[in-house]
Copies of this chain bind each other. A is one copy, B any other.
C-alpha cells in the first residue's frame, strides 16, 4: 500500500475506559523534558469513542490529522471539527472531544503541564449527551 494513503502515526495502545468511552488509542510522540513543558501524542477515536468530560490546568492544543468529530465545552453547542482544524483549549474549562457516531477521528494533542498535572478527569459523556450532539449535526 502506498505510504501516502496510510495513517500518519501508529494506532498505539488502547486508552482506559475509566476516562474514555469506546475505543480510543494513544500513540505517544514526544515526552515532557527540560525544553518541552508539554507532552504530545496522536489520539485515535473509533466511531462513537470520546473522552470523559475533563479539564486541563494549563490548556491543550488539538490538531486534527484524520477524519472528523466533535469538541464541546460545558454549556455550549458542540463544534464539528475535522482534518486540519486546530483547537486551543483554555485552562480549567470543562470539555470533551472525540469521534462522531458515524466517523472516526485522529488528533495530535499537545498538553501543557502545570507543575506535574496535565488533566483532571470527570464524568463520562453519556449516550444521551453524545446522541444530542450527533443529532444537532
Residues of A within 8 A of B (CB): 3-5, 8-10, 29-30, 33, 35-38, 40, 58-59, 61, 63, 65-66, 82-84, 86, 88, 90-91, 108, 110, 112
Contacts and interface: CB of A to CB of B under 8 A. Distances in A.
A59 B37 CA distance: 11
Nearest to A31: B88
Contacts of A9: 84
A97 B91 CA distance: 33
A30 B83 contact: no
A34 to B, nearest CB: 8
Contacts of A58: 35
A8 B83 contact: yes
Nearest to A60: B35
